[in-house]
Structure 1
Amino acid sequence: MRPYRNISDAELGALGALREWDPSAFSALDLPAPVLWVHTLREKHATLDPLDARLIRTLTVFEVRCEVIRTDFGSYALATGKNMFVPCGCKRFCDCFGQLYLLKQSPTN
């Protein structure tokens, strides 16, 4: 299991996502496939609706090659499900980093 702080088990369940990160399940997906993306610092943006599209959205995975997951919203590490790039460090709201969760209705689950 992968530890997380940005979303609760209840929220993940309601959104139809799995808590556990399983790189082998990701490699076996029939592409293109939907996944859930959650902003890494979601809990710090209390003024936004917790389900705001800037904090939680559904992405489409187009390719899994070597150790990289390519989506319509950036590239993520297969080993962790987190974005490939370091956060930009800006002090205003930024959607530059997040993490992925597999959806329960994915063809391999």
Structure 2
Amino acid sequence: MRPYRNISDSELESLEATREWSKEALLSLLLPAKILWVHSTREKFHRLNPMDECLVKTITIERIQGDVIKTNFGSYSLETGKNIYYSCGCKKFCDCYGQLYLFKDTHALPDRHTA
């Protein structure tokens, strides 16, 4: 399990995503693929709606390069799904770091529905 929990199980369920990170499931995706991104310190933005697009969004995995997941919103560790602290893509350095969550549906976890 990853050290921090920046989204509740019920929120993940409503978004049809799973908390468990599976490198194998990720590697089985046909790319490009959609994945859920959640801001790593979402709770500190209590004035925003917790589901605001600044804090929770669907992004696109463009490629996997070695141990790095390259998306249209930054780079993430293949092992953990956590941001590896490069700029998130907003053209400047900021604190928009997050964690990826796999979707349960067939476009994100193709092998899960064929078993």
The answer to whether the superposition gives a TM-score over 0.5 is yes
Secondary structure, in 3 states, of the residue corresponding to 1:25?
helix
Specify the alignment match of 2:91 in structure 1. Answer: none
Q: Is the 8 A contact 2:74 2:86 kept in 1?
A: no
Report the counterpart of residue 102 of structure 1 in structure 2.
102
Q: Unmatched 5+ residue regions in structure 1?
A: 88-93
Q: Once the two structures are superposed, what CA deviation does each residue of 1:83-109 show, in whole Å capped at 9, x if it has no partner?
A: 11179xxxxxx5520000000012343
Alignment of 1:1-109 (within 5 A): 1-85=1-85, 94-105=94-105, 106=108, 107-109=110-112
Structure 1 runs (4+) greater than 4 angstroms displaced: none
Match of 2:43, SS state, is helix
Report the count of equivalent residues: 103
The answer to whether the 8 Å contact 1:18/1:102 transfers is: yes
Kept in 1: contact 2:35–2:60 (CA 8 A): yes
Question: Could you tell me whether the CA contact under 8 Å between 1:31 and 1:61 is conserved in 2?
Answer: yes
Amino acid at match of 2:8: S
Distance 2:11 2:26 in 1: 21
Distance 1:95 1:103, change over 3 A: farther
Give the TM-score, by structure 2 length.
Answer: 0.82
Assess if the C-alpha contact under 8 Å between 2:39 and 2:99 holds in 1: yes
Task: Decide whether aligned partners of structure 1 residues 71 and 108 sit closer, same or farther in structure 2, where only a CA change above 3 A counts.
Answer: farther
Structure 2 unaligned residues grouped into runs of 5+ = 88-93
Decide whether the 8 Å contact of 1:36 with 1:58 is kept in 2: yes
RMSD: 1.6
Percent identity between matched residues is 54
